[in-house]
Amino acid sequence: MIRFLPKNIQWVPIAQISNDNLTLFTQTYDSSALTQSIKELGIANPLILKTLGEDKFQIVCGHRRAYAAKELSLETIPAWFISENSSETELIRLNLIENNRTYGDIERGGIIAKLVDCETPESSIIKEYMPMIGLERSKNLFDQYLRSSQLEEDLQEVFHQLNVPIRTYNICFSWTPNGQRAIRDVLAKLKPGVNKVRFLLETIDEIAHKEAITPENVLSSEEISKFLEFGETAGIIFDKTQEYLFKRRFPELGQLKTNVILAKDKLKLSDQIKIKTSDSFENGEIRLEIKFSKLEEILNYSNNLAEVAKSEEMEALIHLFKLMERT
C-alpha cells in the first residue's frame, strides 16, 4: 500500500526532477492551455513525487505540469511526497487513480507493458488494472495490448495520432519492423481516417499473402513510390494508391471496373441522369440518380431512359455486372 508522508507541500527545484517515464502514459499532448493556466494562476495541484536519493526526485503524478513549468522557465514547483519504499507497480496504480481519464489503445498497450516490466503478476494486471484503463478482464485482450506495445515506436505514435483502434491495427502485429516502418511513412504522409487506414492495412496484408511476399515489398512498389513523391494533396495520393492496391488485389475485378466505366461513358444519357455503382461492386446493383425541377423534365428523362434501356450499350453494362457476380 502507498503511504503518503505528512501532507505539507514542499517546493522542489525543477532541475532536480528526473526524466523517468515510468508513469508517463500520455502518447502526445498539447500543453499550451495548461501552460497558459499556470502562467496566469500558478500550479494549483501539486505534483506527487518520490525521492530517489539526495536532491533527486521521480515524478509519480504531474508530468504535464512539470513540462509546462519547464516551458515557463520556473525554478521550483510544489509537490507532495510518497514513501521511498513504494514499488513501481504502486506508482503506476497511483497515477492511474489520480488521472482517471480515457486512454487510447496505444496508451493502454504501453501501460500494460510497463506493468509487465515491473513484474506485476499477469492475473493481477487482468483483474485489477485492465478495468482501470477501460478494458474488460480478458486474457486475449491482455495479449493483444501487450503485442500493441511491441510495434515500432514511430508507428505507435502515428496510430495514436490518427486514433486508430487496436482491432484495425492488430493486423500489423505479424509484420516485420521494415513493414511497420514502411506503412508508418505512408500513414504519416496521408493522415487518412480510420476506415481508410483499415483498407490500406487489410489490402496490403491480403496482397502480401496472395503473392507470397512481405508487406514492405508491396509498399515499395514503383507505383506507390511515385504517388508519394508527387506534390499532390493527400486525398489524391490516397485515391491513386487505393485504386492501385484494389486492382492488384482483385486484378479481374479491377479490369471489370475499367470496363464498367467505359460502358457507362458509351450510354447516351442526359447530363442530368447519373449511373451510380459502388467502388467494389459488392452489392451488384446499378443505381440511377436523376436531377429535375420541372414535371416535363421527368417525362423527357423517362423517354431518354426508355431509349437507353433498349440499347446494346445498356445490355453490355448489365452483362458486365453478371460477370462480376461470378468473379
Q: Is residue 91 part of a domain?
A: yes
How far is residue 192 CA from its own chain's centroid? 9
Model pLDDT for residues 146-203, shown as the tens digit of each residue: 999 999 999 999 999 999 999 999 999 999 999 999 999 999 999 999 999 999 999 9
* pLDDT surpasses 80 at 296: yes
Please tell me which of 213-217, 273-277, 300-304, 311-315 the model is most confident about, judged by mean pLDDT.
213-217
**What's the rounded Cα separation, in Å, for the pair 308 and 267?**
7
Q: Is residue 281 part of a domain?
A: yes
Helix (H) or strand (E) holding 57: strand 56-61
Model pTM? 0.75
Model pLDDT for residues 189-198, shown as the tens digit of each residue: 999 999 999 9
Burial of residue 59 (CB within 10 Å: 0-12, 13-18, 19+) is buried
Q: Is residue 14 part of a domain?
A: yes
Domain boundary among 47, 82, 99: 99
Model pLDDT for residues 267-278, shown as the tens digit of each residue: 777 878 777 766
Q: Which domain holds residue 274?
A: 265-325
Domain boundary among 99, 132, 150: 99
What is the total residue count of the chain? 327
Please tell me which of 34-38, 262-266, 321-325 the model is most confident about, judged by mean pLDDT.
34-38
Domain boundary among 61, 77, 99: 99
